[in-house]
Amino acid sequence: MKVLIILILIFLPSSLLAQGGVAVPFVRINPSSQLNAMAGAFSGLPTSNPFGMFFNPAQLGQFARTYNFSTSFYIRKADWLPHFDFSDRYFKSKAMNFGYSTNKLIPNLPLHIGIGFIDSKVGLGKNIWTDETGKELGVFESWEKYQQFGLGIGIDWKVKFNFGFAFKNITSNLAPVSVGFEKRPGESKATVYDYGFLMTVPLPDFFTPPQIKQLFVFEDLQTSVDLSAGFALQNVGDSIRYIDSRKQSPFPRLATLGYGLSANITGHIHGVKLQLLKADWSSQAQDILVAHHPDGSWDYEGFPGRINLFDHLISGKFNDDVVIFQGYRIKVFESFEYSYGYFRGQGWDPYIKTSGFMISSQGLGKALQNTIQNDLLKEIVSKIIIQYATSKYSSTDRSHPLYGTRFDGLIISFKELF
């Protein structure tokens, strides 16, 4: 009976993860416990989260501007599709980024280089094959996983430009090697590629926003507004074969266009610079570039598919082809942030709501810098950041398979090491 979970993963996520009829849909599960709270709308909004390259590999160039190393991992495995009461299926993921910036060597035109790694796995439980009489023929554990490797480069020239490339090595193990006396191939493997671009326009470089010099105990206040935009082409590959080698299934090739707006206020207290308030908004449109034909054949469409720049990206409209993701976030004193968002379109009726929060040691570390006498401890506090993030999915329909899905994770980062 548990073989039903295989069918759930193969077929149901085709609609649960937007448009259907594709193989390995699990590669579309957003893995970040922090970024999922904002609906994963990060193709066009910069982030230093180590899972950033999942949404756009160009995020690696952005990451290298601030951090030298960062890792994120789950505190517990995510209870994927909790509405289906299978106790032994799960989703887990971890990420690791390395970054280096040449700004100390080349201050006028620095180069930011980031590399990243993500390891994700969805477990489908132990499955039992039986014959028509109920006799057990075999037991196997089914799962799917991928390992993603990425490279990103950032360049500053009035506008901040980022370019990225990544590839995923996918292994799908949905069938046993043998069932009774019948031999079947157990694993299918494939490699797909991601490409991305991200740019950020610091608006104060082009006009001077109104400034407030002092507020309570904070001095030298400065306001800043950034406009960003980006795109990603993901899961580019030919096809994958399962048990029947004559049948090929398309990958969930995705075209995503997005943009965002960020505003923040920073100030100084006792000589320490602190970000007092930061607000982010992001919107993106996504289309799966697979066209299915009445005769059962299929082919890939060109980028950006059926996305209309004005209707979908600007106006935020959705339809049977295009899914819209929008997210909102507010962060105070570099210590606490709250995010929420939604995604809606074909396959998401009713639409999915997202929410979550993050607690960071960064603000506390800055507050303690002037009180710590030990130089080594002061370095640790100023360069190491520990964050806890949690996010969850909800819906107006409590029976929706994604309702109650939750992600809990830690993020450990090192900055200004070299």
Provide the whole-model pTM: 0.89
Instruction: Measure the CA–CA gap between 165 and 59, rounded to whole angstroms.
Output: 10
Please say if the pLDDT value at position 34 is more than 60.
yes
**Reported confidence tier of residue 249, pLDDT bands at 50, 70, 90:** confident
Residue 229 is predicted with a pLDDT of 97
Please compute the mean of the pLDDT values over residues 177-190 and round it to a whole number.
61
Please compute the mean of the pLDDT values over residues 131-140 and round it to a whole number.
72
Please compute the mean of the pLDDT values over residues 53-64 and round it to a whole number.
97
Please say if the pLDDT value at position 382 is more than 90.
no
Region of 361 please: left (phi>0), alpha (psi -120 to 50) or beta: alpha
Q: Name the residue range of residue 307's domain.
A: 4-415
Please compute the mean of the pLDDT values over residues 61-65 and round it to a whole number.
96
Residue 41 is predicted with a pLDDT of 97
Residue 22 has what DSSP assignment?
-
**pLDDT, mean over the chain:** 86
Locate 16 and state its tokens.
Answer: 């649960």
Angle 150-151-155 from CA coordinates, rounded to 5°: 145
Please say if the pLDDT value at position 225 is more than 60.
yes
Residue 1 is predicted with a pLDDT of 41
Q: What are phi and psi of 363, to 5 degrees?
A: -65, -45
Instruction: Measure the CA–CA gap between 267 and 404, rounded to whole angstroms.
Output: 39
Domain harbouring 236, CATH code: 2.40.160
Residue 7 is predicted with a pLDDT of 41
Please say if the pLDDT value at position 402 is more than 80.
yes
Residue 175 is predicted with a pLDDT of 65
Locate 289 and state its tokens.
Answer: 């570039």
Look at 136-140, 167-171, 203-207 and tell me which has the smallest mean pLDDT: 136-140
**Reported confidence tier of residue 244, pLDDT bands at 50, 70, 90:** low
Locate 131 and state its tokens.
Answer: 């014959």
Instruction: Give the chain's domain count.
Output: 1
Q: Which residue has the higher pLDDT, 246 or 284?
A: 284
Residue 210 is predicted with a pLDDT of 64
Residue 105 is predicted with a pLDDT of 83
**DSSP state string for 40-56:** T--SSS----TTHHHH-
Residue 188 is predicted with a pLDDT of 85
**Reported confidence tier of residue 179, pLDDT bands at 50, 70, 90:** very low
Q: Which residue has the higher pLDDT, 304 or 141?
A: 304
Please say if the pLDDT value at position 404 is more than 60.
yes
Look at 193-197, 211-215, 306-310 and tell me which has the smallest mean pLDDT: 211-215
Instruction: Measure the CA–CA gap between 346 and 335, rounded to whole angstroms.
Output: 37
pLDDT in tens, 207-218: 666 666 666 667
Residue 374 is predicted with a pLDDT of 77
Please compute the mean of the pLDDT values over residues 237-241 and round it to a whole number.
83
Within 4-134, where are the H helices?
4-16, 52-55, 59-63
Residue 18 is predicted with a pLDDT of 39
Most confident by average pLDDT, 203-207, 219-223, 325-329: 325-329
Look at 116-120, 177-181, 374-378 and tell me which has the smallest mean pLDDT: 177-181
Please compute the mean of the pLDDT values over residues 153-167 and round it to a whole number.
95
pLDDT in tens, 256-269: 999 999 999 988 87
Assign 3-class secondary structure to 297-356. CEEECCCCCCCCHHHHHHCCCCCCCEEEEEEEEEEECCCEEEEEEEEEECCEEEEEEEEE
Residue 148 is predicted with a pLDDT of 98
Instruction: Measure the CA–CA gap between 299 and 276, rounded to whole angstroms.
Output: 50
Please say if the pLDDT value at position 302 is more than 60.
yes
Q: What are phi and psi of 375, to 5 degrees?
A: -65, -40
Residue 260 is predicted with a pLDDT of 97
